[in-house]
Amino acid sequence: MTVVPEDAPTTLHRVGARAPFFSYLRQAWERRDFAFEMARSRIQASNQRNRLGMLWIIFQPTMNALMYGAIFGLLQGDRRPPNFASFVVIGVFLFQFFTASMNQGAKSITGNQSLVQSLSFPRITLPLSTVMEQLLTLMPMLGVMFIYVMILGETPALSWLLIFPLVAILTVFNVGVALVAARLTVHIRDLTHLLPIFTRLLFYTSGVLFSVDRILDKMPWMIKIFDYHPLYQALQIARGAILDSVTMPSVHAWIVMSVWAVAISAFGVVFFWTAEERYGRDI
C-alpha cells in the first residue's frame, strides 16, 4: 500500500464550494442555453395547462387595464391625463413585466428544491431564467399593447422604437430585483406572502394609473421624489415615446432608469453570489 505524503498536492475540491466571483459569472454564462431552455419550457408548460394558452398572457393585463382604468378614471375625474385609456394600458402592461419578474424570481430557488440539491451548477441561472421567461412573455404583450393604443387613437411613429432600449434597461433592473428577492426568500420564507402586498403598494405608487403632475400638483416636493423613482420614470419614457399627449422622455429619465438598473443588478449579483453555498442547505 502506498502512503500519500501529507504535503502532496491535491486537486480535490469541497463539494458545493462557492466559485470565485468572475469564475462564477463565467460558469453562469456558459449555461445560458440551459437558462433559456428552462424559460421556454415553462412558458410551453403554462400554455398547455391553461385552456386559453397564450391568450391568457394577453387577457390578464387587458382585464386589469379595463378594471383599474374604469375605477381610477372615475375617481380622478378631471385630473385624468389626456388619452387616459392608452395611458393605463401602457402602465399596466409594462408594470406586469416588473412584478412577474420579481414574484417569480423570488420563488426561483425555493421552487426548484430538488434541482438545487441534486445538481451542481451556478444557482444564479434560476432567477435569470425566470426573468428570461417574463421577457419572452412580454414580447407578444408589446405587440398587443401597440394594437390597443392604435385602436384608441394613437398613430404609429418612429419614437415607438424607443420601447425596445427601454425594455432592455428594465430587464437589467428586473434581474437585480429578482436576484435580491430570490436570496431573501430562501432565508425568509414568509416573504412570499408579503411580496403581493409590496407589489400592490408599488402598483398604486408608481404612476401606473395616474399622472403625478396632475394628482400632486399642490405638493411639488413629492413630484421631485418621483423624478428619481425608477418604475415611474420607466413608464414615463414609454408613454412619452408612444402617446402624443405626453412629453417625449428627457435625458434625465433615461439616466435615472439606467443608473438604477446598473446599480440594483450589480448589487443583486454580488448579494446572490455571497450566499451561493447556502442555497442547497437552507431550502
Taking only the tens of pLDDT, the chain with its 283 residues reads: 455 455 545 554 454 567 888 999 999 999 989 899 999 888 887 766 666 566 667 777 777 777 777 776 776 767 777 788 889 999 999 999 999 999 999 999 988 887 887 777 889 999 999 999 999 999 988 998 999 999 888 889 999 999 999 999 999 999 999 999 999 998 888 888 888 899 989 988 888 888 887 777 778 888 888 889 999 999 999 999 998 877 777 888 999 999 999 999 999 999 999 988 888 666 6
- Residue boundaries of the structural domains of the chain: 51-282
Question: 212: Cβ–Cβ under 8 A, 6 or more apart, which residues?
Answer: 222, 223, 226, 232
C-alpha to C-alpha distance for 267 and 272, rounded to whole angstroms: 8
C-alpha to C-alpha distance for 53 and 207, rounded to whole angstroms: 30
What is the pTM assigned to this prediction?
A: 0.87
Amino acid letter for position 62: T
What's the pLDDT at 45?
Answer: 78
C-alpha to C-alpha distance for 76 and 82, rounded to whole angstroms: 12
C-alpha to C-alpha distance for 199 and 106, rounded to whole angstroms: 12
Contact assessment for residue 108 and residue 257, using Cβ atoms and an 8 Å cutoff: no
Contact assessment for residue 192 and residue 185, using Cβ atoms and an 8 Å cutoff: yes
Amino acid letter for position 198: F
What single string gives the DSSP state of each residue in 182-245?
HHHHHH-TTHHHHHHHHHHHHHHHTTSSS-HHHHTTT-HHHHHHHTT-HHHHHHHHHHHHH-TT
